[in-house]
């Protein structure tokens, strides 16, 4: 079995930002030489997420509004530690921090509208995602 690892680095300009990373993941798959397998895409931070969905601006805004209703800015117990990002941790729990995607015939195998996204909930500092390609 082959494996190939790539780190994607992000310096977001906003506190909350959604970044399409499909092309970078597909490039990691192509560079790996894996023909059949899986690719793990995982945010290496507890205030960020990786997810798969449609690349449509209205949907992304809907997701942001939905998350704000589920985890609004509030006085969380976590803030007693000196942090101020309690809602970012909760958004991570809802969106999850990783996805596993299929590789078929040497390419990322997504559905017709599926795209891979990095969602940052506590940004404006350097963060990373690991892309781990595994297979034959």
pLDDT in tens, the chain (136 residues): 999 999 999 999 999 999 999 999 999 999 999 999 999 999 999 999 999 999 999 999 999 999 999 999 999 999 999 999 999 999 999 999 999 999 999 999 999 999 999 999 999 889 999 999 999 9
Q: Find out whether 25 and 108 touch, Cβ atoms under 8 Å.
A: yes
Q: Quote the pLDDT of residue 101.
A: 98
State how beta strands 126-135 and 37-43 pair: antiparallel
Q: Quote the pLDDT of residue 108.
A: 98
Name the 3-class secondary structure at 128. strand
Nearby residues of 122 by Cβ (< 8 Å), 6 or more positions away: 15, 45, 47, 48, 85, 88
Q: Quote the pLDDT of residue 134.
A: 98
Q: Quote the pLDDT of residue 27.
A: 98
Q: What's the predicted TM-score (pTM) here?
A: 0.95
> Domains in the chain, ordered, with CATH?
2-135 (2.60.120.460)
Q: Quote the pLDDT of residue 128.
A: 97
């Amino acid at each position: 079995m082959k494996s190939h690892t790539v780190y994607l680095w992000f310096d977001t300009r906003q506190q909350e930002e959604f970044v399409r990373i499909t092309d970078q993941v597909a490039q990691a798959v192509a560079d790996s030489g894996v023909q059949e397998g899986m690719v793990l895409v995982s945010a290496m931070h507890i205030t960020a997420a990786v997810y798969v969905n449609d690349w449509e601006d209205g949907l992304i805004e809907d997701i942001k509004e939905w998350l704000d209703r589920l985890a609004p800015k509030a006085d969380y117990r976590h803030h007693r530690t000196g942090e101020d990002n309690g809602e970012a941790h909760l958004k991570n729990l809802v969106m999850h921090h990783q996805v596993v995607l299929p590789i078929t015939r040497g390419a990322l195998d997504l559905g017709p509208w599926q795209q891979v996204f990095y969602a940052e909930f506590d940004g404006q500092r350097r963060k990373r995602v690991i892309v781990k390609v595994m297979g034959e």
